[in-house]
Amino acid sequence: MQKIFLLVIPALLCFFTNCKKDNNDFPGTPGNPQITSSQVPEQAFFGDSISFSANVSDPLVPLSTLKAQLFFGEDMVSQTTIRTKADGHYAGKVFVPFLKNIPNGKATLKLVLQDIHFTKKEEEHQVTLSRPQYSYLYLVTENGDSLKMLRSEENTYLFRTATSAPQIIKGYIVAPAFGNNGNNINFGWGGGTIKENIKNPITFLSLQSSPYNIQFNTFTYERSPFASYKLNDKEMSFTADGHFFIDLNLNTGDELKAEGVQDFDQYWIDPDFLKKDASGKITFSAISGKYRIVADRDKKYLNVLTLNASGEKATLQPDGSGAIWIAGWGIAKPGMNNGQPGWSPGKMLCMAPVKPKVYQMTITASTEKGNGQIRTDYFDFKFFFQDGWGGEYRGPDYAETKGIIPEIVTVQESGNLGLSSGKQLTEGKVYIISIDCTEGREKPKLEIKEKI
């Protein structure tokens, strides 16, 4: 037994001795990587794929990787990694980012050779970079059309569409590959700004009618036309049809300040959601909560919609909170001549929550083509729990009706409201529609009264 133990010890010592002598195992002694005959161009363009090559070797241990790292100043902006399983000649390409507001200048391309023991050999090359001088760009619209943009005479980075564009258009911009090593550069919308190498559509919006030309600057990424509306110092987003909107948490009495809204002094102000004094100051008058305010440029009014906590259009809840919506004909916001919702889901009128679980719409009677919010001689509308089909109020659902119901206004079995036989509303007179749901959604109290 003792003899066997003595024989094992020399074997183990021999094993560990051999391991230390083998430089191919890790950990081990450092290697000696070498870079020779490297080839890197002295000049390139932003957006290029720079070709590089080098002979690499390590006489002590196997190699691992050859990296090409591109630096703008101290920042590494691009990198390519090549696996080097054996000594020899290797070649690759590293992309030169196309970034805004970066002037012509010098970049550093660093070749970094590493072996399996993490021993490195580095070699630096200076590359002079220039911005491409494109002759033209393309604007690719959402429907697939391609509009050519020509370089302006006054600025080599400024491009304009050759033909007039519609008032609102969306698309991404393509700069074609420039030079022998160039790549197509796409400019799209991301993170609230224009970015390179994405295709999300950019919106171009003119407050003026055509004709006008779309412009884009490949140095600053500035584009025009693009109207900017702000509410309470916050930039509003835009809808598909060119209107602006913003979602805000508002408290009763908060002031609303608009900036950049064209013809804002001519906007109709919803009297149930907002109040405007003689000085033009606008304050929020509905209950505190989350709301979407749409600056409707065509109809010239601030359309206020009640939202839930998730930022979606609110719906009437069983406890009576939320929102009530109106659909039908003969009732409108901002006026009969342009604001009737019809029976179109998504376009219903939102009643203002003037008190918790109490909803109101103030209306002025006018002719069919007048500026009032209800027709004197005809209307047919009803109340819904959401801005679309689904829950709705029928005639028998109301726990109470009062005011000019049923003398002038009739509530039908279906829930539709219309004029009583032989009756009309008085032109120019103001009426208030209110639904009280303080006892819950199932016990609403409907009132239509003349405003005193």
Specify burial of residue 341 (Cβ count, 10 A radius: 0-12, 13-18, 19+): buried
Q: Supply the pLDDT for residue 163.
A: 74
Sequence-ordered list of residues with C-beta below 8 angstroms from that of 126, at least 6 positions apart, any chain: 42, 106, 107, 108, 109
Sequence-ordered list of residues with C-beta below 8 angstroms from that of 184, at least 6 positions apart, any chain: 174, 175, 176, 177
Query: Position of tokens 């003398």?
Result: 407
Residue 190 scores a pLDDT above 80: yes
Q: Which CATH class is domain 230-450?
A: mainly beta
Name the β-bridge partners of 358.
355, 436
Q: Tell me if 73 sits within 8 A of 33, measured CB to CB.
A: no
Q: Supply the pLDDT for residue 17.
A: 39
- Residue ranges of the chain assigned to CATH 2.60.40.3620: 230-450
Q: How confident is the model at residue 322 (pLDDT cuts 50, 70, 90)?
A: very high
Coil/strand/helix, residue 346: coil
421 vs 213, higher pLDDT: 421
Q: What is the pTM of this model?
A: 0.63
DSSP 42: S
Given the candidates 3.30.450.20, 3.40.50.720, 3.40.50.880, 2.60.40.10, the CATH classification of the domain at 34-130 is 2.60.40.10
CA 444 – CA 437 distance, rounded (Å): 5
Going by their DSSP bridges, the two strands 202-205 and 282-284 should be labelled as: unpaired
Instruction: List, for residues 366-385, the tens digit of each pLDDT value.
Output: 999 999 999 999 999 999 99
Q: Supply the pLDDT for residue 19.
A: 39
Sequence-ordered list of residues with C-beta below 8 angstroms from that of 217, at least 6 positions apart, any chain: 155, 157, 158, 159, 223
- Residue ranges of the chain assigned to CATH 2.60.40.10: 34-130
Q: Tell me if 55 sits within 8 A of 63, measured CB to CB.
A: no
CA 323 – CA 306 distance, rounded (Å): 6
Phi-psi region of 370 (alpha: psi -120 to 50; beta: other; left: phi over 0): beta
Residue closest to 304 by CA, chosen among 320, 290, 316, 321: 290
Q: How confident is the model at residue 247 (pLDDT cuts 50, 70, 90)?
A: very high
Q: How confident is the model at residue 212 (pLDDT cuts 50, 70, 90)?
A: confident
